[in-house]
Amino acid sequence: MRYPDEIAVVGVHSGKFTTERETPRIRDASIRLGATHLTINDRQFRLWRAYAVGAWPTLVAVDPHGAVVGMRAGEFTAGALAPFVERVIADARSAGIMIDAPLPFVADPPTVAPGQLAFPGKVAVDGRRIAIADSGHHRVLVGSLDERGTRMRVERSIGGPDAGYRDGAEPAFVNPQGVLFHGDLVYVADPGSHTVREISLSTGVTRTIAGTGGQLRSAVDEARGALSSPWDLTLADDRLYVAMAGVHQIWTVTLAGGSAEVFSGSGAEALHDGPHAEAALAQPMGLCSVDDVLYFADSESSAVRVADRDPSGGVRTIVGTGLFDFGDVDGSGDAVRMQHQQGIAPATDGLLLVCDSYNDALKWVDPSSRRVETWVRGFHEPSGLAIGDRAVYVADTNVHRIAVVDLRSSDVQSLSIE
């Protein structure tokens, strides 16, 4: 932090989703993201209205007298903000009202303490092989399952414990998410470093195949090959398709040359179907491929959508009706309501299994009939899943475990990790 003694950061959380207004969830999310400054749960939008806020995010600057001295909506860099902050600090010092001392606030502990895993984000299964994005520990675990599929023997731990961006034999990740097996390789979507990485399972050596380590914010960044919060990935025809959550698009990365480009989505944040270049997505965070289409969890619109892999095709919505339409309602078509889904996987019978993350449930989605049916409840913000031969493996994020759900009995147990 550039001004540790001069400024105090207070986050005001005015949650869009009802689940985002629950204080324990806000606490866990803050710890998961490393945002351990003071946070106010503005669940009734009182501060939102008092400061005439109209967009997420909005920054309000308040001087030591309590007067608002600046306000701006949208995302911008710390460097762009620094001259303004320095002027406010200088004015406060000249007025004799500046207190150059840190405020002694201690961060709350999480609802459930991390153990072997910390806030796991995604999981992948390939036969008996399993990979876990141990996101809170900034590492990827790769190992093998026992015959029953309920115990994992770790064979490689790549990255961690500290966050960072580094390739090579001792790599570093920042909040890794999507993981994908491909032969002797594991591909990783690393949103914290804004990169897509490749891990060799034989050597453990990691390399960046797309991204620069910095976030895509300008045309110059794009020309340099920057990405923005790649969250999940899938493979088809020697191309990686990447859920680029930060810019509300799906991108492709060629395995041969590593070139990355927009595949679908205009970049606008909305739910709008149409040709790839015109369709609007809303923070896609889960992605899978089946035959000639991609299915994705469009989190901010609480939707499940489908995109043709043919570049001349487009995007259609299976369930979901808009950015502010969410809930917990099974059924068919536009009557369905889900809440910020983050994971999606195809089953062999043509159905999709979806992590309805903010409803703490797994739900079956039929792409043909647009019917949704709840399968299992009782999770804690599940954000990723993989379907194995006999069980489903779920990244049960806020209780730091991989849950194993038996496909026949629906019984749930925790994956044992050795």
pLDDT of residue 78: 79
pLDDT of residue 8: 84
How would DSSP label each residue in 177-204?
--EEEETTEEEEEETTTTEEEEEETTT-
pLDDT of residue 381: 97
pLDDT of residue 35: 85
pLDDT of residue 98: 84
pLDDT of residue 388: 97
In the predicted model, is pLDDT for residue 224 greater than 80?
Answer: yes
* The token pair that represents 95 in the structure block: 């007025």
Give the position of tokens 């990485």: 197
Task: Fill in the amino acid letter for 405.
Answer: V
> Measuring CA to CA, which residue among 66, 77, 71 is closest to residue 2?
77
- Per-residue pLDDT of 110-140, as tens digits, reads 899 999 999 999 999 999 999 999 999 999 9
- Per-residue pLDDT of 145-172, as tens digits, reads 999 999 999 999 999 999 999 999 999 9
What structural domains and CATH numbers belong to the chain? Answer: 10-94 (3.40.30.10), 123-417 (2.120.10.30)
Q: Cα 396 to chain center, whole Å?
A: 13
pLDDT of residue 338: 98
pLDDT of residue 121: 98
- Per-residue pLDDT of 7-62, as tens digits, reads 888 899 999 999 999 999 999 988 888 888 889 999 999 999 999 999 889 999 89
Residue 71 has φ and ψ, to the nearest 5°, of: -155, 135
The mean pLDDT value for 218-227 works out to 93
* The token pair that represents 74 in the structure block: 């949208």
> Measuring CA to CA, which residue among 308, 242, 250 is closest to residue 275?
308
Residue 249 has φ and ψ, to the nearest 5°, of: -145, 170
* The token pair that represents 392 in the structure block: 């489903």
Residues near 54 by beta carbon (within 8 Å), at least 6 away in sequence:
73
| CA–CA dist 40, 22 (Å, integer) | 11
- Per-residue pLDDT of 258-302, as tens digits, reads 799 999 999 999 999 999 999 999 999 999 999 999 999 999 999
- Compute the Cα dihedral for 13, 19, 21, 27 and give only its sign: negative
| CA–CA dist 188, 405 (Å, integer) | 24
pLDDT of residue 104: 76
User: What is the pLDDT of the chain when averaged over all its residues?
Assistant: 94
- Per-residue pLDDT of 296-328, as tens digits, reads 999 999 999 999 999 999 999 999 999 999 999
Q: Cα 90 to chain center, whole Å?
A: 38
**Which stretches of 258-313 are assigned E, i.e. beta strand?**
260-264, 274-275, 284-290, 293-298, 303-308
Lowest-pLDDT range, 37-51, 113-127, 238-252, 388-402? Answer: 37-51
> How sure is the predictor about 2, in pLDDT bands with cuts at 50, 70 and 90?
confident
**Which stretches of 34-137 are assigned E, i.e. beta strand?**
38-41, 58-62, 68-73, 123-126, 129-134
In the chain, pLDDT over 70 holds for what percent of residues? Answer: 100
> How sure is the predictor about 180, in pLDDT bands with cuts at 50, 70 and 90?
very high
- Per-residue pLDDT of 364-385, as tens digits, reads 999 999 999 999 999 999 999 9
| CA–CA dist 229, 216 (Å, integer) | 9
Task: Assign 296 to helix, strand or coil.
Answer: strand
> How sure is the predictor about 64, in pLDDT bands with cuts at 50, 70 and 90?
confident
* The token pair that represents 11 in the structure block: 């986050």
Residue 148 · residue 213 · CB < 8 Å? no
pLDDT of residue 332: 97
Give the position of tokens 């698009």: 249
